[in-house]
Structures are given as C-alpha cells and as structure tokens.
A and B are shown apart, each in its own frame.
Chain A
Amino acid sequence: MRPLDPVTSRQRAAYGLAFFVLFVALWSWATFGGHVSKTFLANPLTMVQEGVELLTKHGFLFDIGMTIWRVVGGFALAAVIAVPLGVLMGAYKPVEAFLEPFVSFARYLPASAFIPLLILWAGIGELQKLLVIFIGSVFQVILMVAVTVGATRRDLVEAAYTLGASDRGIIRRVLLPSSAPEIAEILRLVLGWAWTYVIVAELIGSSSGIGHMITDSQALLNTGQIIFGIIVIGLIGLISDFLFKAFNAWLFPWKLA
C-alpha cells in the first residue's frame, strides 16, 4: 500500500465485499456465541426468518413502497423549488444577498423538530410526511446549488460574452450546463439525507412505512424485524445511489471523457 496508489475495479469490489462479510461474521460471533443476549440483538438467521415472515405475512412490501413514495415525493417537491431558486441566487448577487442569510438560518432548523408542529398543521396524513422531507432537503439544496452556480469559472462566462452571449444566454448556456453535474451530485447527496428524515417522520404518528414497522417491532421486542428494516433501508439507499450515479454518468459524458 502506497499513498494514493489506485486499485483495480476488481480489487475494489472484493475489498468492499470483504467488509460486509467481516461485519456479518462479527455479528454472528456475538449472537451465536452467546456474548449478547437474544433480547437485545437477534442473530443473522433469526433476522432473515423474521424478514421472510414480514414480507410474506405482514405485507411489508407495501410499507417499503409507502416509504419510497414519501422520500421520492418530498424530495422531488424540494428539488423542483430549490434548484431554480439556487440557480437564481448563484447567478444574481442581489437575490443571493436577499435570501442567503435566511436560508443559512433555516438550514440548521432540524426537520425532525418540526414533526409535532407539522402534525398540528397537516395532520398525520401523507402531506405531513412529505413536508418533513421537504423541510429537511429544500434549504440544503438551495444553498449548495447557489454556491455551485456562483463558483462557475469566470473565464468561461467572459468567453461567452465575447462570443455575443446575452445575459439570458449566459445563464442558459454557461451557468446551467457547467453546474449541472454538480447539481446532480448535490441531489444524490441530499436524497441520502432525506432517507433519515422519512424514518423519523414514520416513527411518530404513522400507520404505514418502514419506520412504522420498526416502532411496532420495538413494542414486541422483536430485534430481528428492526434490524431487517434497517438493512432494507440501507439496501434501498445503496441501490438508489448506484442508479443516481449511473444516470449522472450517462447524462454528463463530458465529465468523464
């Protein structure tokens, strides 16, 4: 091993998998070996059995679907509002001066602390769940997009001006395309955070979703189900991240060229 020495993609996959194996091995050692009480931590085998039961008998697929729909819905809502606003802030300094202080402040408001208030305003229906995701994502995206757009290379903007571009042309044909890959990365990142908000939203006042299942299982001390739920969230996150990355690479071939 030498600093910054690259690894082949095969090695990369092997190393990545190895840690998962190590993780499960440690877990098995702790549970099957009797080092941790069954009440606190189920062993891997029980977890799988509980998972199968959840999927076949308790309609857990429906819960997974509900959770995905909430994340995607709330996140899409946030992106639709945040990306244009962030682009405007990045492009026009007066707009930035007007909105930046408030957005910076709002960014630190914890989305989960809004849940009681949102229940009061929107009830315990779907709207409330979407709003939690929305509040948790929208300010982050606005700010990060604004910074990205504002950091567009000045010499590219100048070159476009000397080629006869109008102010609108600068936004449409320089600022947007040059920031687009970064914006896509920001969305990928914030989508990951949105997953944590959705579970919190479902832990409180919900009758469906992965988070709801986890609270139910807690009441029954069924750690196998809880762990299965957590792992499902992790897997969905991994898959969505992979899809997002592949989509971005397909969308911006010039970045990789």
Chain B
Amino acid sequence: MTMLKIEQVSRTFPARHGNAPTKALEPTDLVIGNNDFVTILGPSGCGKSTLLRIVAGLDRPTGGRVTLDGREVTGPGADRGMVFQSYTLFPWLTVRENIAFGPRERGVAQDERNKIADAFIRQVGLSGFENHWPKQLSGGMQQRTAIARALANDPKILLLDEPFGALDNQTRALMQEMLLGIWERDQKTVLFVTHDIEEAIFLGSRVIVMSARPGRIKAEIHVDLPHPRSYKIKTTPEFVQLKERLVEEIRTEALKVAEHA
C-alpha cells in the first residue's frame, strides 16, 4: 500500500538582485492513496512543477514535509520514479541500456536487467528499437522510453512533469492512451503535472487545480468517468461538462498571471 502525504509544504525562493523573495508555493496539503491517478492542473508559474520536484526530492521545501509510506522524503530515490518534460534519456546508452539504468544501479545482474528492460520495451511498444541511440528516436519514442525507464525501477509512485508537453497533438493523444493503459492494467500510483485541461481530465481520477502567484490548491475535482477510457470519451457530455468547469477555473488563474506579467 502506497500513501504519499504532502503536509503544509511551502517553497519560497530567496531574494536575488534586490528583488523580493518569490513565494512559489503556499503551505499545501495533499494525500495520494494507493493506485490513485492524480493530475495537478494549473497555468505556468503556479508552482505545480515545484511541488512535484519537492516530492521527487530534487528540491527542498521551505516549510512542511513530504512522507511516502510514513518515511520523510529527504532526497531523490528509486521509490519515486520521475519523467521530465525535457528529453532526459542518457544519449550514450541505447534504449535497452537506458531502461536498465535503475536496475543496474541496484546491482541487478545483466541477464536479469535485460529481461526487465525487454518486458518494458514491449509494454511501451518499442520492440525493434532496443539498440537504438536516443538521438535516433522521435520525441514520442524518447518519452515512451523515459516512462519505461522510470517503471523499470518498480517505483511506489510515478511522478510525471508535463511529459507530453513538447509533443504534437496526435502523438500526445496516443501517449495519454498508452500511459492510461499501463495504469489500468498494472495499477500504479501516479502524480501527473500538466497545464492541458483535457489531458488532466482524461488521465486523472482526481484533478487538483492550482492557482497562480502564490501557488496553492484552489479546487479538487473527482473524475468519475468509467475505466477503461478510450479517446472517444473526450466527446461525451460528461467529459465536456468537466472541461467547461475547469476552463473557467483555469481562465481566472491565467488572467491573474497575465496581468502580473
């Protein structure tokens, strides 16, 4: 059973060049239970990525704490897999070696970790590309490899920071279906950050809406659409209704940001 608790977590970036300190994140509470798929939705600059980086252990909170199964997060670790928006595959490793990176760090023998890697390569549909370098892959294929690499460590929770943000619309829709398919089959706990409203609804069981400057949780919306979901769900009245509601929520926040910019 996985339980991620974010308790009163805040982040203030220190003053620089005479500017006042930036409050990126107000004290925030959030609990993510076992096999939850939570999407965090907000305009850019709302602190959603900061929150995710704190959960990953790549950033330290100014106040509050994050615990995973009762143990406080003090730094990055293999129990929290992360997929970044930028392409972060190791360019000197092949697809298979990239996916086997985590198991290799844990000291898993070569045969064993190749078996693990090949299983995930099949799962993300990259069979035949095992020995390709990242440079030879399209953006979508690179992100699929990155997801497989994070999953190969069998993390308790998967953290995704706008992983499909740089992809074109068609590829993005396919990637969403693939990720959701993995979740529906294997029941993973997922925290997914995005600024795309449709993506947040389509993927999430819960959508957390964040407000901008300072970042805080503004609303929490349960998505009761049935599983398994296919792309067709995006045109159902229930989906459209949710989307309308979230468009309003996000619009007011985006306006706030635009006025301050």
Are B101 and A160 in contact (CB-based, < 8 A)? yes
- Identify which of B56, B75, B105 gathers the most chain A CB atoms within 10 Å of its CB: B105
Bound Cα distance A161, B84 (Å): 13
Question: For A173, what are the chain B residues with a Cβ–Cβ distance below 8 Å?
Answer: 101, 104-105
Residues of B within 8 A of A (CB): 56-58, 75-78, 80-82, 84, 86, 88, 90-93, 101-102, 104-106, 132-136, 149-150, 153, 159
Contact of B102 among A163, A178, A254 (CB under 8 A): A163
Q: Are B105 and A169 in contact (CB-based, < 8 A)?
A: yes
In the complex, A43 Cα to B202 Cα: how many Å?
A: 81
Q: Which residues of A contact B101 (CB under 8 A)?
A: 160, 163, 165, 173
- B84 close to A178 (CB less than 8 A): no
User: How far does the alpha carbon of A159 sit from the alpha carbon of B146 in the complex, in Å?
Assistant: 10
Q: Closest approach, in angstroms, between the C-beta of A108 and any C-beta of chain B?
A: 32
List chain A residues, Cβ under 8 A from B91. 178, 254-255
The complex places the Cα of A174 from the Cα of B101 at a distance, in Å, of: 11
Name the CB-closest residue of A to B79. A164
The complex places the Cα of A164 from the Cα of B113 at a distance, in Å, of 15
A177 part of interface (Cβ distance < 8 Å):
yes
Q: Which residues of A contact B57 (CB under 8 A)?
A: 161-162
Q: A163-B105, A169-B105, A257-B133 are in contact. Are A177 and B92 (CB under 8 A)?
A: yes
A177-B94 Cα distance, complex, nearest whole Å: 13
A155 at the interface (CB under 8 A from B): yes
Q: Roughly how many angstroms separate A118 CA and B153 CA in the complex, as a whole number?
A: 57
* Chain B residues whose C-beta falls within 8 Å of the C-beta of A165 in the assembled complex: 101, 105
The answer to whether A254 and B133 have CB atoms under 8 Å apart is yes
The total of interchain contacts (Cβ-Cβ below 8 angstroms) comes to: 75
- A23-45 residues at the B interface, CB under 8 angstroms: none
The answer on a CB contact under 8 Å between B58 and A158 is yes
- When distances are taken between beta carbons in the complex, the residues of chain A under 8 Å from B88 are 153, 155-156, 158-159
**Contacts A156-B90, A178-B92, A257-B136 given: A162-B105 contact, CB under 8 Å?**
no
Chain A contact residue count (CB 8 A cutoff): 23
CA distance A253 to B101 in the complex (A): 19
Q: Is A15 an interface residue (CB 8 A)?
A: no
A166 within 8 A of B: yes
Which residues of B are found within 8 Å of A158, using beta-carbon distances? 58, 76, 82, 84, 88
Closest to B53 in A: A158
**Looking at chain A's contact residues, is the secondary structure mostly helix, strand, loop, or mixed?**
helix
Residues of chain A lying within 8 A (CB to CB) of residue B80: 162
Given contacts A163-B78, A165-B105, contact A155 B135 (CB under 8 A): no
Q: Tell me whether B92 and A163 are in contact (CB under 8 A).
A: no
Whether A252 sits at the interface, judged by CB under 8 Å, is yes
> A239-257 CB contact bits vs B (8 Å, 1 = yes)?
0000000000000111101
Could you tell me which residues of chain A, from 129 to 175, have a CB within 8 Å of some CB in chain B? 153, 155-156, 158-166, 169, 173-174
What is the minimal beta-carbon distance from A228 to any residue of chain B, in angstroms?
44
20 contacts between A and B (CB under 8 A): A155-B86, A158-B84, A159-B84, A159-B88, A159-B90, A160-B90, A160-B105, A162-B56, A162-B76, A162-B77, A162-B150, A163-B101, A163-B153, A164-B102, A165-B105, A173-B105, A178-B90, A254-B93, A254-B133, A254-B134
Task: Using A178-B90, A252-B92 as known contacts, say yes or no to A257 and B135 having CB atoms under 8 A apart.
Answer: yes
Cα of A87 to Cα of B132 in the assembled complex, Å: 28
Known A155-B84, A158-B84, A163-B153; 4 more pairs at CB < 8 Å: A156-B90, A163-B81, A177-B90, A254-B133
Residues in A with CB closer than 8 Å to B135 are 254, 257
Beyond A155-B84, A169-B105, A257-B136, whether A162 also contacts B58 by CB under 8 A is yes
Asked whether A164 lies within 8 Å of B105 as measured between CB atoms, the reply is yes
B184 to chain A, nearest CB (A): 24
* Residue of B with least CB distance to A253: B133
Residue of B nearest to A164 (CB): B78
CB of B51, distance to nearest CB on chain A (Å): 15
B86, B102, B105: the one contacting A166 at CB < 8 Å is B105
Instruction: List chain A residues, Cβ under 8 A from B58.
Output: 158, 161-162
Task: Kindly report which residue of chain B lies nearest to residue A162, judged by CB atoms.
Answer: B82
Q: Specify the chain A residue showing the minimal Cβ separation from B106.
A: A164
In the bound assembly, the distance between CA atoms of A252 and B105 in angstroms comes to 22
A159 to B81, CA, bound (A): 9
CB-CB < 8 A to A163: which residues of B?
A: 78, 81, 101-102, 105, 149-150, 153
* Contact indicator B82/A159 (Cβ below 8 Å): yes
